[in-house]
Amino acid sequence: MKEFILRYQRQITLEGFGMEAQEKLSKAKVLVIGAGGLGCPVLQYLAAAGIGYLGVADDDTIQFSNLNRQILFGQEDIGQYKVDIAAAKLNALNDRVKIITYQERWNQQMCIEHFPNYDIIVDATDNFASRYMINDACVLLDKPLVFGAVSKYEGQLAVFNVVSNDIAVNYRDIFPTPPKNDEVLNCAEGGVLGVLPGTIGVMQATEVIKLITGVGAPLANQMLTYNALNNQYITIQLIKNSEAIKTSPTTLDIFMQTNYAHLCS
Amino acid sequence: MSIEIIFFGQLADKTGCSNVVVDNPGSIDALSMVMKMQYPNLATAKFVIAVNNKIVFDNEPIEENAKLAFMPPFSGG
């Protein structure tokens, strides 16, 4: 108990936070899908903040080109699985956090099997197929989703499936269908400033903490866009989109039959 | 009277500018036509439009001096 108070002293003493919020964090279960540029800072700050139970999913190994932004990993970790190194680093940071690793490419079956065990899902993936799949599963299974995405010098942040003013929007309310291949650049083609997913990832971790503790107002029904080049932050109000109902799977059976890889190519 | 449009992400590459001030064409549909004529590359881009920080999907009128944002989806992580 003494260690608990010492470790989290700086946030326990925060006005409006206190022991009550800290205990909520220690009971919370958060799943972070993707342990890359966004996932690393999300995981690091959530482990440091004292989240009780942290799921980490990624099927990739560490590459040299990851190191400019994936800050949980070092040169000596090249070739190792991201989830293994992430778990070791997070455990060294805070061994009171229970870390569960999934060294697999996240799929539809895993959404249905594992989402019910978590309070909040964090989308830290790097492709539209995963993003649409995770979004649709969160809608069907009624899970709050903290979304982050980056491109070059810009990032987007949103909280989906959280009711505010009687509505709860999701990604399909913004973009009902995925873009075609020629309509967007991926990170490898377009590049990304290393620190940028750090900025957005830390903001995702902040939204997770706000959702769990009830401190502040989460970014529900809004999307924030950040441009690192000119320090422009724009937050837009979102509304339900009638197109989204037509393009979203309405049952888990239809969800399971949806070919996301095909949909997003 | 004019309106200002900010292009986000890849849209700025497609138009060659991050923002532009144009005469107010009066509605979202009219603006879409003007923009696609002025920037043909936008025809192959996916984006949503926000007017004064509110997302719009229908052919709504555009107020004078409105600030618009054209926002594409990002997938990177």
pLDDT in tens, B48-72: 999 999 999 999 999 999 999 999 9
Rounded-to-integer distance, Cα A264 and Cα B50, Å = 24
Domains and CATH numbers, chain A: 2-263 (3.40.50.720)
Cross-chain residue pair A37–B77, CB shorter than 8 Å: yes
Predicted pLDDT at A263: 79
Report the candidate in A197, A187, A156 with the shortest Cα–Cα distance to residue A71: A197
Q: Does A41 touch chain B (CB under 8 A)?
A: no
Q: How many residues does chain A have?
A: 265
Cα radius of gyration (chain A): 18
Q: Would you state the structure tokens that stand for residue A77, as one six-digit string?
A: 């970790």
CB B33 within 8 A of CB B51: no
Q: What is the dihedral of CA B48, B50, B51, B54, to 10 degrees?
A: 130
Task: Tell which A residues from 122 to 181 touch B, by Cβ distance under 8 Å.
Answer: 123-128, 131, 148-152, 154-156, 174-175, 178-180
Rounded-to-integer distance, Cα A95 and Cα A58, Å = 21
Strand partners of residue A151: A154
| Closest by Cβ to A175, choosing from B18, B45, B48 | B48
Look at the block and give the residue holding tokens 């700086």.
A10
| Whether pLDDT at B45 is above 60 | yes
- Could you give the 3-state DSSP secondary structure of residue A12? helix
Predicted pLDDT at A180: 81
Predicted pLDDT at A42: 98
Predicted pLDDT at A188: 60
Q: Does B74 touch chain A (CB under 8 A)?
A: yes
What's the complex ipTM? 0.94
Single-letter amino acid code for the residue at B9 = G
Q: Would you state the structure tokens that stand for residue B75, as one six-digit string?
A: 């997938």
Segments of chain A with pLDDT less than 50: none
Rounded-to-integer distance, Cα A73 and Cα A177, Å = 34
What are the backbone dihedrals phi and psi of residue A93, each rounded to the nearest 5 degrees, phi first? -75, -45
Q: Does A44 touch chain B (CB under 8 A)?
A: no
CB A140 within 8 A of CB A248: no
How far does A222 lie from chain B, in Å, by closest CA?
9
Domain B2-71 has CATH 3.20.20.80: no
Show me where the domains of chain B are located. 2-71
Q: For chain B, what is the mean pLDDT?
A: 94
Cross-chain residue pair A154–B9, CB shorter than 8 Å: yes
Predicted pLDDT at A99: 98
Rounded-to-integer distance, Cα A252 and Cα A258, Å = 10
Predicted pLDDT at A185: 60
For A238, residues 6+ apart whose C-beta sits below 8 A from its C-beta are: A158, A169, A173, A174, A221, A222, A223, B55
Cross-chain residue pair B76–A179, CB shorter than 8 Å: no
Cross-chain residue pair B10–A237, CB shorter than 8 Å: no
